[in-house]
A = this chain, B = another copy of it.
């Protein structure tokens, strides 16, 4: 007997027919003798509908009331799944965020989970009942409903798994696992059987939208074994294994050694800003990034080209595309302080990242990347690296070509499809 959490997203909960299929998947695990808690999203489209109601009612809505409104989406699917489970003979009951409770911060609409009291739920599980829990919601110390911010249901699932010391947290999605890169770009992309939390974090944050970044961070901190797998298989048969996200100790040394790169990601949602003729003096860079930081804008890649002899320099950096307008506004207001000549924005860029814990013990990963791109005439606009990642910024027109070239260069192409 294992204790497992199963999480189903909005697509899986969209309508009663799909909820019935989810119920059969849950029954399969319950019949195998496991203790099962299920975390569910709202029906797909429902959260958008509710958010729009709030915006219509007032663009400056009170986040506490917004939470009252939008949390109802998961409340509905929670009750319906409990009913659908009972209909096929599985004892089940719902546990709303305020009923467990799932205690969160009071940052309404963007709350963080503090802890989850599973005492009552554990008794219910021990009696053989399935627990159905709404994702995305909790309760603040003020006693009011909170929500975790969009996409928070993965985080709820991992937090529930941690609190109930689950053996595994299965995230059922519309893909059947994490791939070496986007299969729409590289048909030879392979499903990765096991990936470390660190790698998954890097892949998630650079555009492989399988798991919410925040949920992976929490899983790493709490050592929750997460499995990503498809929700669209035959609900009555054991599911095809997906990708297991685990600690490095579970990967095995030979895997780490043999596999230089685990995956390749791309992110088109970056924007490049170049400030020309910034005075080349100590502290100049601080005058650029301090106001951006104050405005809560995350700066990612930074390149500084010192033009010797002129006393000035061009500074290039990237910000999230959605923050470009706000960044320009902040920088224009600070023009006198910074003293740049011109601000040149560019949204036609893409960030390509190669990720793998194996690169820690191998030199030459970056060199392979630069050579492979250069051989195809792809110009690199900026570079950043971390212990397990190398990212480059290129013109967005070269995105697919760059991903394919690197996938082959690092030996990731599937053999059967070769």
Contacts and interface: CB of A to CB of B under 8 A. Distances in A.
How many A residues are at the interface, by size bracket? 35 or more
B69 A99 contact: no
A143 B94 CA distance: 12
A58 B87 contact: yes
A58 B72 contact: no
Copy number of this protein in the oligomer?
Answer: 2
A65 B83 contact: yes
A98 B145 CA distance: 11
Given A68-B75, A75-B69, A79-B68, A57 B94 contact: no
A356 B53 CA distance: 46
Contacts of A36: none
A54 B80 contact: yes
Interface in A49-68: 50, 53-54, 56-58, 60-62, 64-68
Contacts of A56: 16
Contacts of A58: 83-84, 86-87
B94 A76 contact: no
A19 interface: yes
Contact of A61 (B20, B67, B83): B83
Contacts of A61: 83, 86-87
Interface of A: 16, 19-20, 50, 53-54, 56-58, 60-62, 64-69, 71-72, 75-76, 78-80, 82-84, 86-87, 93-94, 96, 98-99, 143-145
